[in-house]
Amino acid sequence: MPTPNASPLLLKELDIPGRTGPVSTAPDVWGINIAAALDNFPRQGLQCRAGPWGVMGVGDVLRIFWGAGNQVLQDTIDPEEVNKELTLFVPSRHLTEGAFDVSYTVQRVGQTAEPSEVMKVLVKLTRPGGHDDNDQPGHSKLVMKLPQPIIDGGIDQDNVGAGVLMLCERYPNIAVGDVIQVTWGGVFVLSPPLTQDQADGRVA
Per residue in 115-146, pLDDT tens?
Answer: 999 999 999 999 888 888 888 888 888 998 98
Closest by alpha carbon to 117, among 10, 27, 6, 1? 10
Q: Name the residue ranges covered by the structural domains of the chain.
A: 4-123, 144-200
Per-residue pLDDT at 65: 98
Per-residue pLDDT at 8: 53
Per residue in 30-74, pLDDT tens?
Answer: 999 999 999 999 999 999 999 999 889 999 999 999 998 999 999
Q: 4-123 maps to which CATH number?
A: 2.60.40.10
Query: Which residues touch 144 (CB under 8 Å, ≥6 apart)?
Result: 166, 167, 168, 169, 182
Of all residues in the chain, the percent with pLDDT exceeding 70 is 95
Do residues 90 and 72 touch, judged by C-beta distance below 8 A?
yes
Q: Is the peptide bond before 27 cis (omega within 30 degrees of 0)?
A: yes
Per-residue pLDDT at 163: 84
Angle ∠(36,41,42) on CA atoms, nearest 5: 100
Residue 69 to residue 37: CA distance in whole angstroms: 20
Helix (H), strand (E), coil (C) string for 21-63: EEEECCCCEEEECHHHHHHCCCCCCEEEEECCCCCCCCCCEEE
Phi, psi of 109 (to 5 degrees): -55, 125
User: Over 50: is that where the pLDDT of 2 sits?
Assistant: no
| Predicted model pTM | 0.75
β-partners of residue 122 are 31, 99
